[in-house]
């Protein structure tokens, strides 16, 4: 049985991510990439579906665990009656092939250990063929080969293993001062097995890589540790070969235990990636932002009408959604889905967010070129003719399309970014026409998206429902923070969407908006938006208290999933969730005064022109 979501830590090599439980078991790993089929899938089932456990033979959760310094090197320790032992897990920076390194180290006494490796390829459905490799004379490690169809693994370890029914098992003891390394290397089965990483050189290389990366951080505000750990987590979700940013490392972790809202988040959403880019820009990580922009230009090449809300990490467009009926789901929460049918939805806010992201990258000093501006103009040409279309909204509702307020506010923000690009950088374009379009969208939203009786904006035109995304209205500059309509909206959203002080995205039963049964937990990034909104309307003490509470929802390794069940006191949804971690980073910056509460797009870099940091009514 899988553990609680918050019981997992992560390791990764910027191409895939593994989830490691408190009990020493890797229960989720996709190879060679984070959106490849899983070879360890017990997270969504049980041990029949693949895992790799390395822990004391007595079993049980660890005594303590931590990341070594500011890295993704995970140290898990057990105090047992026989002694004290540590397992260090890591994935070195990828060279010829992906490697998972696990080093058992005796700290006190002599501890009996058990290694149980049971890969099951294609999301737990394929039992591999396991055999011993021919060890060269004088070899210090024993080799084992594991093959299933196109996939193969090679295990190297200095202890003998038993092989039976696709399971590789070893029992051994480790004494104080001893180190016993295990290296698992993936390769395509038709190719020779590559040289496995040296476990100890790999440890040094991994620590050096993460130390060098986090040293580039430029953030001197409060909450240093959670901000820097969140930045490391965001970096772990980037896909180094292309610069894409995955929304999360997992699929189908439920938004309600036992419910059907289980989605695959191992792809690059333009919205999530844009806000991640802003968090990275605001903390000095311009190289990652530049890589994402280059990925974007490749991924969206073609007609702007064909812009998708998400793409594969390599930029592919087709992400068909399938249900895997052999997996029961996390705590029986089915169905388990791979792929995501929402890729074909119309979500008009994505045009606006993409335009903002590209503009803010320019404002932050990223080198510009004609292709970027030409793409922006093409996107705006489409938006000009379609901003008032009905769409599925940012929450990807699977009910009927609606005139969502957030979609139209973000369309306004995209046009506003183009006007400012002309005004601030002297770029060419029909700016008078764009100003007129901006005014038309604004007037439409103010007239049809605002309920004067309740003094609040609504989820969509004609709706009585509210939506946490309404808190972004002043953050993108649509209205100033002291506008009574903004204050009223913040009050209404907090009052009507709050569960024990945290925010739902919206009421899933309201207006039959999303076409799905069941409910969900509170949405963590929405609660971070509330932090920013409370600060923006002058309730800074309340904002700070909410932020401090949100920090307590992280697990012991500083990780956040998508949602939180306030009744059960548990994390819900896919993990680690980029949206949650970038929300943490941007809220810390707002509360620390490192970006104005009205800064557009949830985090204008400090070096942006002063005009971009104005919070007054732009029309």
Q: pLDDT for 73-110, tens place per residue?
A: 999 999 999 999 999 999 999 988 999 999 999 999 99
| pLDDT tens digit sequence for 114-150 | 999 999 999 999 999 999 986 544 445 679 999 999 9
Question: What mean pLDDT comes out for the span 2-30?
Answer: 96
User: Reduced to 3 states, what is the DSSP secondary structure of residue 368?
Assistant: coil
Per-residue model confidence (pLDDT) at position 137: 45
Note whether 461 and 403 are within 8 A (CB): yes
Rg (CA), the chain: 25
341: exposed, middle or buried (Cβ count in 10 Å: 0-12, 13-18, 19+): middle
DSSP secondary structure string for all residues of 346-366:
--THHHHHHHHHHHHHHHTT-
DSSP tag of 398: S
Note whether 267 and 313 are within 8 A (CB): yes
Average model confidence (pLDDT) across the chain: 91
- For the stretch 169-173, contacts whose Cβ atoms lie closer than 8 Å and that sit 24 or more positions apart, written own/partner, are 169/114, 169/115, 169/116, 169/117, 170/114, 170/115, 171/57, 171/112, 171/113, 171/114, 171/115, 172/112, 172/113, 172/115, 173/110, 173/111, 173/112, 173/113
Residue with more model confidence, 598 or 27: 27
For 511, other C-beta atoms within 10 Å of its C-beta total: 17
Alpha carbon distance 284, 288 (integer Å): 10
Per-residue model confidence (pLDDT) at position 432: 97
Q: b vs e for 402-429, b when ≥16 Cβ sit within 10 Å of the residue's Cβ?
A: bbbbbbbbbbbbbbbbbbbbbebeebee
Residue 89, φ and ψ in degrees, nearest 5 = -115, 140
Pairing of strands 162-164, 151-157: unpaired
Alpha carbon distance 308, 317 (integer Å): 8
Report the percentage of the chain scoring pLDDT > 70: 93
Q: Is the pLDDT of residue 599 over 70?
A: no
Q: Is the pLDDT of residue 52 over 70?
A: yes
* Paired tokens of 504: 């739902």
Residue 57, φ and ψ in degrees, nearest 5 = -60, -25
Per-residue model confidence (pLDDT) at position 598: 38
Sequence-distant (≥ 6) Cβ neighbours of residue 339 within 8 angstroms: 264, 319, 320, 321, 322
| pLDDT tens digit sequence for 470-526 | 999 999 999 999 999 999 999 999 999 999 999 999 987 655 566 677 789 999 999
């Amino acid at each position: 049985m899988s553990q609680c979501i918050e019981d997992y830590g992560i390791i990764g090599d910027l191409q895939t991510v593994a989830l490691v439980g408190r009990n020493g078991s890797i229960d989720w790993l996709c190879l060679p990439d984070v959106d490849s089929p899983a070879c360890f899938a017990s997270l969504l089932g049980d041990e029949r579906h693949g895992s790799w456990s390395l822990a004391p033979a007595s079993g049980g959760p660890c005594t303590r665990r931590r990341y070594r310094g500011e890295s993704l090197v995970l140290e898990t320790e057990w105090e047992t009656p026989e002694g004290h032992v540590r397992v260090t897990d890591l994935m070195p920076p990828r060279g010829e092939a992906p490697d998972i390194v696990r080093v058992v180290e005796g700290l006190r006494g002599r501890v009996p250990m058990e290694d149980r490796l049971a890969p099951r390829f294609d999301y737990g459905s394929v039992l591999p063929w396991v055999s011993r490799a021919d060890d060269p004379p004088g070899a210090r490690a024993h080799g084992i080969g594991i093959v299933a169809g196109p996939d193969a693994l090679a295990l190297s370890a200095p202890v003998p293993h038993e092989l039976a029914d696709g399971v590789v098992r070893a029992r051994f003891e480790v004494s104080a001062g001893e180190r016993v390394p295990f290296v698992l290397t993936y390769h395509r089965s038709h190719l020779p097995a590559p040289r496995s990483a040296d476990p100890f050189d790999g440890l040094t290389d991994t620590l050096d890589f993460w130390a060098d990366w986090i040293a580039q951080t430029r953030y001197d505000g409060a909450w240093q540790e959670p901000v820097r750990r969140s930045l490391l987590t965001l970096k772990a979700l980037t896909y180094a070969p292309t610069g894409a940013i995955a929304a999360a490392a997992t699929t189908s972790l439920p938004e309600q235990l036992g419910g059907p809202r289980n989605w695959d988040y191992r792809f690059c959403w333009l919205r999530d990636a844009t806000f991640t880019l802003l968090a990275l820009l605001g903390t000095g990580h311009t190289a990652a932002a530049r890589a994402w922009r280059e990925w974007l230009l490749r991924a969206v090449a073609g007609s702007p009408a064909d812009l998708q809300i998400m793409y594969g990490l390599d930029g592919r467009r087709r992400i068909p959604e399938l249900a895997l009926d052999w997996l029961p789901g996390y705590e029986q929460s089915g169905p388990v889905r791979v792929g995501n049918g929402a890729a074909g939805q119309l979500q008009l806010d994505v045009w606006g967010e993409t335009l903002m992201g590209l503009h803010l990258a320019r404002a932050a000093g990223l080198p510009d070129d004609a292709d970027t501006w030409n793409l922006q103009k093409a996107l705006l040409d489409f938006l000009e003719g379609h901003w008032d279309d009905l769409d599925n909204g940012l929450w990807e509702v699977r009910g009927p399309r609606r005139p969502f307020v957030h979609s139209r506010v973000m369309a306004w923000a995209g046009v506003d970014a183009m006007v400012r690009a002309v005004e601030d950088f002297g770029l060419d374009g029909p700016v008078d026409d764009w100003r007129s379009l901006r005014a038309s969208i604004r007037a439409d939203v103010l007239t049809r998206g605002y309920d004067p009786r309740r003094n609040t904006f609504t989820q969509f035109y004609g709706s009585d429902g509210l939506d946490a995304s309404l808190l972004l209205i002043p953050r993108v500059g649509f209205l100033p923070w002291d506008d009574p309509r903004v204050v009223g909206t913040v009050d209404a959203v907090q009052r009507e969407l709050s569960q024990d002080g945290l925010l739902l995205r919206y009421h899933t039963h309201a207006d039959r908006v999303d076409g799905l049964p069941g409910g969900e937990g509170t949405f963590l990034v929405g609660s971070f938006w509330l932090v920013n909104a409370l600060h923006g309307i002058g309730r800074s003490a309340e904002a700070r208290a909410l932020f401090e509470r949100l920090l307590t929802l992280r697990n012991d390794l500083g990780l956040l999933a998508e949602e939180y069940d306030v009744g059960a006191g548990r994390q819900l949804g896919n993990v680690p969730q980029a949206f949650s971690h970038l929300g943490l980073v941007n809220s810390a910056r707002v509360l620390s005064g490192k970006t104005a509460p009205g800064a557009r797009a949830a985090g204008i870099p400090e070096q942006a022109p002063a005009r971009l940091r104005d919070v007054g009514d732009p029309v």
